Structure 1
Amino acid sequence: MMEFKRKALAIAVMVATSTLTACGGSSSSSDPDPVTPENKAPTAVTLTANTVEENAMGVEVGTLAATDADSGDTHTFTTDNASFVIDGTTLSLAADASFDFEKMASVDVDVTVTDNGGLSHTETLTINVTDLLDYYDFVSEFDAEKSSVSYSGQTARHALIAELKNYIGNGGLQSDVDNGELSSKEEIVAKLNSFYDRDENAWDGFAVTFTDAKQKFFSEISSYKSLKDKVAGNDASGQHALWNGESNEAGQYTGENIAFTGWSTWDDAPAHVPADGVIPQKTPHGLVQQFFSQIADNAMENPGGKRYIHGAEQIEANEIPVFVNYDGTDLNQLIQKFLLMAVTYSQATDDYLDENKGLATDNTGRDKGEKDYTKLEHQFDEGFGYFGAARNYLDYSDNEIAGKVKTEEDGRADWNGKHDTDGDGEIDLFSEFNFGASVNAAKRDRGSEVQTDFTKEAMDAFLAGRKLINDAAGTELTTEQMAELLEYRDAAVLTWEKAIAATVVHYINDLRGDLDKLKAGADDYSFTDLAKHFSEMKGFALGLQFNPYSKITDEQFVEINTLFKDAPVTELSEIDEYQSDLVKARDILQAALEFDADNVENW
């Protein structure tokens, strides 16, 4: 009976409680109202990785995360830094943004995280920029505050070649003839030689005019330098061939066994007398002097008057400048291209980068006991200097190196062949200007149907070789290190040769196109274009013999230049055969350098 009462009481309590709950409870209840938790702002932003390689664009940096006391919150990440983009939780570089370690080793980016309640927190994240081997500068082993890189003489000779071309081709020579400042053949030849072999006493005050540069005078580039002194044959020590021929016991040239070949049309000249010590005529130096003499003859032909294509109507459309010969050769192009090969290419490949000469020098102590570099470092630098690349060559696009920027789509206008990298408002010829073969490499890369990368291949090899030497500075290279250095040398020189040989192919194609127009009597045929294209082709081709590591055999070299001849064939009945000869020469170059057939057709 008692058990029944307890159960009845329990049931009554349950019913009462249920009724109270359904009715919302009594106003006298002591239970508190539910409280919504307060939203708190995120307190930190973290990133899984914080490094990015210099010059990289559009790459992922890392994954973002937020520290938030409210574990159920969702988060949105944003940044106002245009160099970065955020996709969800992924932080990346913008597609067109990159950083240069030499300018900034790290960069700060503000990232804001906002939770689903609208509260936010902004954190500054530091992204470290990792240095790549992409800039030609190396710290001195002997003074950590100094650079060990030096090649001012090579820059000076590049500038001399550019200055000579500018004087001949951009009106300086013609103006001096027209105003009577130069009134004889002898004066004109002397003027041209003032660029090629300037009087040392006239070095100071010799203005740089071919470009607007930081260095206003040649004396600000280097102490006295001469092109003549370094042209193949004249700096004969250790060169792989006797470009000037044999010498007698007194050191005077005999005119015998001259190795220089590829040119067969020599002007009449007095017989060479060995005892007088004069350089023989049929040499690299002799060819330069012949070109100077021909320009002077042209200028004195009709001083102050006009010259016209031989046999053509004397109208403005048929005028030719003093540097264009009647036979279809452009002396300005021949001189410039030949000097780039007979000086810069010859000196680099057959001197400074030769394992029996430049690369055989000391790496243990200061050069000359006082320099901030070893002799070996300096020799390698001089080879690189003759290649002509700006120190940050790899930062340029091919269009920019080639000087082909005309629109925004082409590239950056202030990188068109040169760039004020250090931001001082001036172009430093030592480091911010692209000369010579470095430009030809980019021109061919941009014109390749099947991708080539002559620019990167050459620069990477020069950088790797120089770093090896710098890392070992203060000690002699081991046998293994020297073998590795020679591999880098071989890569640099081969790519250099490919860039020049590809340029010869390019002008073969241009010349064949000119001849097609001539045969067809096309309105857009240009005699001066034909002369220019032939002379660039021939000038570069003549210099291929100066590389002791060339993939082109001596026999192939002779055949190529025989097929080219010393002037273009313009007789209508003979053009087809000449065009076939040009293709034969092109085929030889393609086989020797293993060029892609599509590139050879379209360069």
Structure 2
Amino acid sequence: MILRKSLLATSILAATLGLTACGGSSNSNEPTPTPTPTPTPTPAPTNTAPTDINLSSTVIAEDVVGAEVGSLTAEDDAEDGHTFTTDDVRFTIEGTMLKLASHHALNFEQMAADETISVKIVVTDAGDLSFEKDLELSVADTAATPGVNVYEFDTKLADATGSSVSYTGQTARHALSSEIKSYMSKFNAEYIAGLGTDAPTIARTRLDALWGDYAAVADDEITHLGDSDSLEANYAQTTFADISGSGKELSGKIAGADPSKMYKDWLKEDGTGFAGWTDFGDNKKTAEGLVKFYFDLFEAQIKAMVDGEQLKDPAGNEITKAYITPQGHDLVQLVQKHTLGALMFSQGTDDYLDEGLDSQNVEAHKEGKPYTSLEHQFDEGFGYFGANRHYLELSDDEIAKKGGRDTHQGKYDADMDGKYDLAAEFIWGNASNAAKRDRGTLEKDDEGNIINKPSNVTTDFTAVAVTNFIQGRKILNDNVGVELTDEQMTQVKAHVFDAALAWEKAIAATVVHYINDSLGDYDKIKDGEYTADEFASLAKHWGEMKGFGLNFQFSPFSPFADSDLNPKKDTVGATKFVELHTLFGDAPVLVTADIEAYIADLKLARDLLKDAYDFNEDNVLGW
């Protein structure tokens, strides 16, 4: 058989391919292909948690609100993607920058020797693994420097030398208010008996003079600071006239008496003027009318005691102090706390630090004065707050007279002349209360020793108020001789707003404090059986709560104000102020069957204040 060559070639090729596909013959001359290996998968990198946290600086400058501490970094197998957090309410973290919380500063003088601050930081990587560490921080002392942490400014006016700061009139009124408080506090049964049958007239005459006749009392010694020898030894001024010469009546500056720069008419009696109290007796329904009503009650109490009437509280305990009424009013507290608002807070915020800022900053206020009109208006607003000029050089404990250096209890001899200048070195009024609240809630042992300092304190009313006062005043001082630009005045007004709000928050925190104290008192008296001292305690705490609570309406910056300067006008406003005082009432509830409902009202009032001022829950419950 003969095969065609093309078919033979095809057959051979097919056979060859077939054998190759089967692995081929051992006799084949064709090379065996090398199989391609299957790649071994590369293991994914294993994420590990960060192993450390570092901070670029661990030293915090004192007296700087919202001060930056340092930049945070993590030691980790990844170089980025880290998130830093802290639940310490004193601090905040912006990106990687650790800072003090806004409206918070630290005070070197408040720290014990070698004391540090611990703050817990948590770092979390992109894989959600975390590491935490307690960082130890220290506080650096800042030297007392005018215009930085001291409210002191040399004059920039030509032909003038020395300090441009002056607010002696405000100091004189603080001294008068404190003198009234001290004088009324003397009137117990024994003191009244010593005065005899003329005691009611003597008391009323003295109160009316301290309130509204400066000429009659100007040369009197300031007795609430000590006797003659003590005054002479310790103070640069011993009489009211030593502080300020004339015309410093309290009556002339209470809201309504000086209406030229007020944001509302306080003399209206149709409910749109002064609010928060119902019964004024025979007096006008004004801020001053309420003071006169309290004086009337005080005089009537003294007269009753002189006439032999036995004043008793609802439990039948004898009342031996003329300023405690059977209705539970402590007239000492009501007069003083109302005055701090209707005069000091009103004049400071609604006069000098509002329309007062429209004054000129080019020339002397009056011929021969070392300050401009604008500087003086600002100083007078600061003066009503009550801080001394070296306020930030004292600890909260020292300002509040609760510890620290014996020579710094509410005062500071800055010029070391051996005497305290009442207008420059002494602390008055709300400036003292601010520090009490900034101290937070301190745990104490049975002997009263502090055993634990709180880490949840979120307020620094002292630093916020005074650093803003200093910064605002510095802008004025730096630009004496020219009118401020719109931008500069905007900066000044921003400082004023922050200072005024810190001032008011200190008042609000104090109201919360006395709500809490009143609630504690009610635990002791709600069954209707209590001692005279327990009744007096409720009267005192309620009086401070109510008296301070009346203050809020007087500032145009207040959350409770019906003013365009109030950013919470539409959410809080004047309606909430009326609601607050409806909850408080005009006297503590003393009928046993009604006390539980009133306790609930006080708690509602506390919540209202917490929301109005954005207070921290822990502080509200602990103050």
TM-score normalised by structure 1 residue count: 0.71
User: Kindly tell me: are residues 524 and 339 of structure 1, through their superposed partners in 2, closer, same or farther at Cα, counting changes over 3 Å?
Assistant: closer
Partner of 1:147: 163
Q: Aligned equivalents of 1:499 and 1:549: distance in 2?
A: 14
**1:75-474 matches, cutoff 5 A:** 100-101=143-144, 133-142=148-157, 143=159, 145-171=161-187, 177-180=192-195, 183=198, 185-200=200-215, 202-211=216-225, 212=231, 213-224=235-246, 225-245=248-268, 259-267=273-281, 269=282, 281-303=284-306, 308-313=311-316, 318-354=318-354, 357-405=355-403, 411-447=404-440, 449-474=456-481
User: Kindly tell me: are residues 431 and 307 of structure 1, through their superposed partners in 2, closer, same or farther at Cα, counting changes over 3 Å?
Assistant: farther
Deviates more, 1:142-151 or 1:588-597: 142-151
Q: Aligned equivalents of 1:346 and 1:400: distance in 2?
A: 27
Once the two structures are TM-superposed, the CA of residue 209 in structure 1 deviates from its matched residue by 1.2
Secondary structure of 1:324's partner?
A: coil
**Root mean square deviation, CA, Å:** 2.6
User: Kindly tell me: are residues 506 and 204 of structure 1, through their superposed partners in 2, closer, same or farther at Cα, counting changes over 3 Å?
Assistant: closer
Q: Aligned equivalents of 1:582 and 1:156: distance in 2?
A: 35
Gaps of 5+ in 1: 1-51, 57-83, 86-94, 103-130, 246-254, 270-279, 406-410
Once the two structures are TM-superposed, the CA of residue 264 in structure 1 deviates from its matched residue by 0.8
Matched-pair contact (CA < 8 Å) for 1:518–1:525: no
The one of 509, 512, 521 aligned to 2:519: 512
The one of 560, 583, 593 aligned to 1:573: 593
User: Kindly tell me: are residues 386 and 305 of structure 1, through their superposed partners in 2, closer, same or farther at Cα, counting changes over 3 Å?
Assistant: same
The Cα offsets for residues 275-297 of structure 1, whole Å up to 9 and x where unpaired, read as: xxxxx611111110010010000
Matched-pair contact (CA < 8 Å) for 2:280–2:289: no
Give the aligned length.
456
Deviates more, 1:418-427 or 1:475-484: 418-427
The Cα offsets for residues 188-225 of structure 1, whole Å up to 9 and x where unpaired, read as: 3222111101252x244221111143211111000221
The Cα offsets for residues 350-404 of structure 1, whole Å up to 9 and x where unpaired, read as: 10000xx200001000012321000000000000000000110001111111111
Partner of 2:17: none
Q: Aligned equivalents of 2:197 and 2:477: distance in 1?
A: 50
1:207 alignment partner AA: E
2:430 alignment partner AA: A
Asked if 1:593 corresponds to 2:613, the answer is yes
Q: Aligned equivalents of 1:585 and 1:332: distance in 2?
A: 23
Q: Aligned equivalents of 1:454 and 1:328: distance in 2?
A: 31
The Cα offsets for residues 105-153 of structure 1, whole Å up to 9 and x where unpaired, read as: xxxxxxxxxxxxxxxxxxxxxxxxxx77011110101256310000000
The Cα offsets for residues 457-507 of structure 1, whole Å up to 9 and x where unpaired, read as: 001000000000000111101000000001000100111111001111110
User: Kindly tell me: are residues 262 and 466 of structure 1, through their superposed partners in 2, closer, same or farther at Cα, counting changes over 3 Å?
Assistant: same
User: Kindly tell me: are residues 326 and 513 of structure 1, through their superposed partners in 2, closer, same or farther at Cα, counting changes over 3 Å?
Assistant: same
1:428 alignment partner AA: D
1:572 alignment partner AA: T
Once the two structures are TM-superposed, the CA of residue 575 in structure 1 deviates from its matched residue by 0.8
User: Kindly tell me: are residues 181 and 373 of structure 1, through their superposed partners in 2, closer, same or farther at Cα, counting changes over 3 Å?
Assistant: farther
Once the two structures are TM-superposed, the CA of residue 311 in structure 1 deviates from its matched residue by 4.8
Matched-pair contact (CA < 8 Å) for 1:227–1:343: yes
User: Kindly tell me: are residues 264 and 377 of structure 1, through their superposed partners in 2, closer, same or farther at Cα, counting changes over 3 Å?
Assistant: same
The Cα offsets for residues 484-540 of structure 1, whole Å up to 9 and x where unpaired, read as: 001000100111111001111110111011001112557797100100000000001
User: Kindly tell me: are residues 341 and 101 of structure 1, through their superposed partners in 2, closer, same or farther at Cα, counting changes over 3 Å?
Assistant: closer
Deviates more, 1:255-264 or 1:295-304: 255-264
Secondary structure of 2:366's partner?
A: helix
Structure with the greater relative contact order (CA < 8 A, sep ≥ 6): 1 or 2? 2
User: Kindly tell me: are residues 156 and 132 of structure 1, through their superposed partners in 2, closer, same or farther at Cα, counting changes over 3 Å?
Assistant: closer
Matched-pair contact (CA < 8 Å) for 1:390–1:431: yes
Once the two structures are TM-superposed, the CA of residue 556 in structure 1 deviates from its matched residue by 0.5
The Cα offsets for residues 424-455 of structure 1, whole Å up to 9 and x where unpaired, read as: 22121011111111111101100254331110
Secondary structure of 2:260's partner?
A: coil
1:231 alignment partner AA: I
Secondary structure of 1:489's partner?
A: helix
Secondary structure of 1:461's partner?
A: helix
1:350 alignment partner AA: D
User: Kindly tell me: are residues 167 and 304 of structure 1, through their superposed partners in 2, closer, same or farther at Cα, counting changes over 3 Å?
Assistant: farther
Q: Aligned equivalents of 1:523 and 1:175: distance in 2?
A: 20
Matched-pair contact (CA < 8 Å) for 1:517–1:525: no
Matched-pair contact (CA < 8 Å) for 2:420–2:426: yes
Matched-pair contact (CA < 8 Å) for 1:155–1:429: yes
2:603 alignment partner AA: V
2:375 alignment partner AA: E
Once the two structures are TM-superposed, the CA of residue 416 in structure 1 deviates from its matched residue by 1.2
The Cα offsets for residues 571-596 of structure 1, whole Å up to 9 and x where unpaired, read as: 11111100110111111111111001
User: Kindly tell me: are residues 101 and 444 of structure 1, through their superposed partners in 2, closer, same or farther at Cα, counting changes over 3 Å?
Assistant: closer
Matched-pair contact (CA < 8 Å) for 2:210–2:217: no
Matched-pair contact (CA < 8 Å) for 1:149–1:373: yes
Q: Aligned equivalents of 2:579 and 2:173: distance in 1?
A: 31
**1:30-41 matches, cutoff 5 A:** none
Q: Aligned equivalents of 1:570 and 1:331: distance in 2?
A: 17
User: Kindly tell me: are residues 545 and 55 of structure 1, through their superposed partners in 2, closer, same or farther at Cα, counting changes over 3 Å?
Assistant: closer
The one of 485, 491, 494 aligned to 1:484: 491
Matched-pair contact (CA < 8 Å) for 1:185–1:293: no
Asked if 1:541 corresponds to 2:555, the answer is no
Asked if 1:528 corresponds to 2:505, the answer is no
Q: Aligned equivalents of 1:55 and 1:588: distance in 2?
A: 30
Partner of 1:494: 501
